[in-house]
Amino acid sequence: MTERPRPAPPRIALSLNKTTVKSRSTPAPDTLVVNVRAEDEDGIDSVWVQLAQEPPVGADGLLDPVLEGPFRLTVPPGFGTGTVLSVKVQARDVVGFRSERDTNVTVGP
């Protein structure tokens, strides 16, 4: 009898375009770009990216085995220099398994 593959959560890789952001409202809010690659043999259902306590930005995976692309997040105003903001990436496959990766950025002057 052969062993069948076990279901597993999606694999996530991410990179940031910068690790220091500006928290301002003028002249224009700063933007953080999070490049995400989510993979699952069964297919990716959805991917979400969230900065701090802001609402998450999501994309539909259309059940493809790989979802890859940039997510552009607006840095909210009002955070002081040195504040650490969390960046959370979540992916869900078609079976319902979820994965999560966390990192952070620091507010600079």
pLDDT tens for residues 59-108? 999 999 999 999 999 999 999 999 999 999 999 999 999 999 999 999 99
Q: What's the CA gap between 60 and 48, in Å, rounded?
A: 9
Question: Comparing C-alpha atoms, which of 70, 62, 69 is closest to residue 43?
Answer: 62
Q: What's the CA gap between 10 and 95, in Å, rounded?
A: 10
Specify if 17 maps to a domain.
yes
Specify if 102 maps to a domain.
no
95 contacts 77 by C-beta, under 8 angstroms: no
Q: What is the pLDDT of residue 2?
A: 65
> The domain that contains 50 carries what CATH number?
2.60.40
Q: What's the CA gap between 51 and 66, in Å, rounded?
A: 23
Specify if 3 maps to a domain.
no
Average of per-residue pLDDT across 36-43: 95
- In which domain, by residue range, is 77 found? 11-97
Specify if 24 maps to a domain.
yes
Residue identified by tokens 């999560």 is 100
